[in-house]
């Protein structure tokens, strides 16, 4: 199932679109072509972007298609191209430097970057836990205050609170009386009901 981007309009179902779009015209996938891409700079101007030039050369396509391919490969779900935050460059997901010293240095740099992220997340987690403890303590204090207020004032405080609530929301403090029979809907039913009383 080889398809070019021009055939997208002819595809009927979403699953057919996913199956067909994962392969290029020559039968390969984006991942197989670009997973070993060396680190390259990307620019907002497509004509100055090394990444887009590399994609254009390998796919032999126009700038529009290379932009779409780049956007699909850098998407977090596919991660064919990953951004190296240390060197501020895009590279293939499986790319490693050619010499052993560079490989070790790159892995060490990435490891230290991950350690920094873990330390930062640990600090944020500790702050969140402190905030949760503070809120739980505040809630317990409010509960104990409400409990002591209820015990000391008893019914008087509750009555005043209920009266204030009723004044604010306009509700009656009396419960509505319950009737055994429902009121009739039209006048004939009301006359029959009156005759039976």
pLDDT tens, residue by residue, 82-141: 888 878 889 988 887 777 767 777 777 788 888 888 999 999 999 999 999 999 988 888
pTM greater than the 0.95 cutoff:
no
**What ranges do the domains of the chain cover?**
5-92, 100-169
pLDDT tens, residue by residue, 5-18: 444 444 444 444 44
Contact 95, 37 (CB under 8 A): yes
pLDDT tens, residue by residue, 158-187: 666 667 666 666 555 455 555 555 555 566
Q: Which residue has the tokens 């640990």?
A: 122
């Amino acid at each position: 199932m080889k398809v070019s981007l021009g055939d997208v309009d002819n595809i009927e179902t979403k699953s057919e679109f996913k199956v067909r779009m994962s392969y290029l015209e020559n039968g390969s996938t984006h991942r197989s072509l670009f997973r070993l891409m060396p680190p390259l700079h990307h620019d907002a101007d497509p004509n100055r972007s090394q990444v887009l030039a590399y994609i254009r050369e390998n796919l032999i396509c126009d700038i529009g298609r290379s932009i779409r391919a780049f956007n699909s490969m850098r998407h977090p779900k596919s991660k064919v191209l990953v951004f190296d935050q240390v060197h501020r460059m895009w590279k293939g997901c499986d790319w490693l430097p050619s010499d052993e010293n560079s490989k070790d240095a790159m892995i060490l740099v990435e490891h230290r970057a991950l350690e920094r992220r873990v330390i930062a997340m640990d600090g944020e987690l500790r702050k969140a836990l402190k905030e949760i403890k503070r809120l739980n303590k505040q809630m317990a204090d409010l509960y104990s205050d409400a409990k002591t207020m209820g015990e000391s004032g008893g019914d008087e405080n509750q009555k005043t609170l209920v009266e204030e609530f009723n004044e604010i929301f306009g509700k009656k403090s009396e419960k509505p009386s319950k009737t055994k029979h429902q009121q009739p809907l039209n006048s004939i039913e009301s006359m029959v009901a009156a005759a039976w009383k």
